[in-house]
RNA sequence: CAAGCAGGAUAGGUAAUCGCUCCGCCCCGCGGAGAGGAAAGUCCGAACAUCUGUUUUGUGGUGGUUUUAACUAACGCAAAACAAAGGUAGUGGGUAAUUCCCACCCGCCGUGAGGCAGGGGGUGCGAGCAGUGACGUCUCAACCGAAAGGUUCGAGAGCUCCUUCGGGAGUAAUUUCAUCGAAAGGUGAAAGUGAAACGGCCAAAUCCCUACCCGGAUGAAAGGGCAAGUUAGCCUUCUUUUAGGCAGGUAGCCCGCUUGAGCUUCGGAGUGAUUCGGAGCCCAGAUAAAUGAUUACCACUUCACAAUUUAAUUGUGAAGACAGAAUUCGGCUUAUUUCCUGCUUGGGCU
RNA sequence: GGGGGCGUAGAUCAAUUGGUUAGAUCGCAUCCCUGUCACGGAUGAGGUUGCCGGUUCGAGUCCGGUCGUCCCCG
């Protein structure tokens, strides 16, 4: 789990990131990202009911994504607000595959130092 | 061995590394705790909270009358009773309470172990549509044909018999009068259809009655507290600007929020559901929402392969259910892994 | 977290108090019309009433359970 201070928790923050954030899409993931003029980094993970019907599946998906993201945290740019949304099909991917997919997108658009 | 019936338990473990949430402390750290039997469906029942009825009684109490005392409208608190709607239904018991649970009785089903969304009283199948045909039983099974066959000398001279084929009903299921019943409805007579409506039995999870239970509504997003910003208004300061306070309660935060009809264990009461007493224990409280990831070893089950080979054992590999707390409990229902116990029926061997 | 509705032919909807063979429109198929297509006409096929069980002489309808789907509160 990501520590509390790095979670995107407030409803207002969340909505802003969701609406105004840049949209990066891949086969089974969607990332919304936005930079604000602050020093902290905040992230949230979403597993929609449409893609994952049961509560257990949603929990599992979110845990997988968190685990995949863990290593990327310290190299992230300051002030980023990220929401990562899992699509259907993502539950079959391993943690390494998820990590690669996230990394690829973030590096490509220069939010993450390698 | 096969098929089945009933009941119960279980929901992998240990270690290391990297993380998350909460709590504690001698706070750069260390220690402790961290999903379920169904957390699910939301089908019932309660706790708790707020709002809200009518009547009566008690009580507090501001105001009023008033010398005091006393009386008393509003309002608050407590208790009791109650309409409608709704619910329940063998007898007795359990519980905070239930549509739940337990014991027993009767009825029905099953070869049996056992099971039942069986259990107040009453009323109630002539409704389907035109037919060999009206819940079941009993009664009645008739008619027409130059359609075919049989029997027969002959079935197209006529009569009669058997089989097959074809054909043929009601504006159907009401109306009128009288009468019984609290009601649903019944009974009698007349008319009408039919071969038959006469009689008896069984039928409400559609109808009626009785007895009993219960004030009602909304649900933790209940409800309460603190309170940025903004602000109509009020007060203070001041020539004004301004500043401060009050009021208000939005965003946000906090409480509610986990000690409870609690768990473990011992003893007593009871056939049992359950209950009484003692001792010990504290056992998730998140909120875009923690309880995870990786590796190793050890168990258990299943499958595949190989070896020994009657059975079985050993080794290797793979796989391992349903499912995620959201105020808290008690039931019910549904999903699902593995195992155990007792019993029944049938077959085989000794 | 809490509450409510709806599942009937390929599609959109009906079905009285439980009572005939579950009906209508569009679509579909075949034939006719035409030189051909459309239009038009005729005929026809198509249903486990979401699923499982119960009550009943009889269930789309009544009662339980289950699955799916849509909506409301915030």
Residues 38-97 of A with CB under 7 A from strand B: 44-46, 54-56, 59-60, 62-64, 67, 70, 95
| Whole-complex ipTM | 0.80
The nucleotide closest to A3 (CA, C1' atoms): B20
Per the rule left: phi > 0, alpha: psi between -120 and 50, beta: everything else, A39 is alpha
Residue-level pLDDT, tens digit, chain A, 114 residues: 678 888 888 888 888 888 888 888 888 888 888 888 888 888 888 888 878 888 888 888 888 888 888 888 888 888 888 998 888 778 888 888 888 888 888 888 888 776
Question: For chain A, which residues make up each domain, given as ranges?
Answer: 4-108
pLDDT of residue A114: 61
Selection from A19, A3, A5 nearest residue A83 by Cα: A19
Residues 6+ apart with CB under 8 A from A67: A95
CATH 3.30.230.10 applies to domain A4-108: yes
d(CA A35, C1' B322) / Å:
43
Query: Cα–chain-centroid distance for residue A51?
Result: 16
- Is 0.90 surpassed by the pTM of this model? no
What positions of strand B are covered by protein, i.e. any atom < 7 Å from a CB? 18-22, 35, 251-253, 287-294, 323-325
């Amino acid at each position: 789990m990501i520590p509390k201070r790095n979670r995107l928790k407030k409803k207002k923050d969340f909505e802003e990131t969701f609406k105004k954030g840049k949209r990066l899409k891949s086969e089974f993931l969607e990332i919304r990202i936005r930079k604000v003029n602050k020093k902290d980094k905040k992230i949230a993970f979403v597993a929609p009911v449409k893609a994952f019907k049961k509560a257990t599946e949603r929990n599992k998906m979110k845990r997988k994504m968190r685990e995949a993201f863990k290593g990327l945290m310290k190299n992230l740019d300051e002030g980023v607000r990220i929401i990562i949304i899992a699509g259907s099909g993502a539950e079959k991917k391993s943690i390494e595959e998820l990590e690669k997919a996230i990394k690829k997108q973030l590096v490509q658009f220069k939010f993450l130092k390698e």
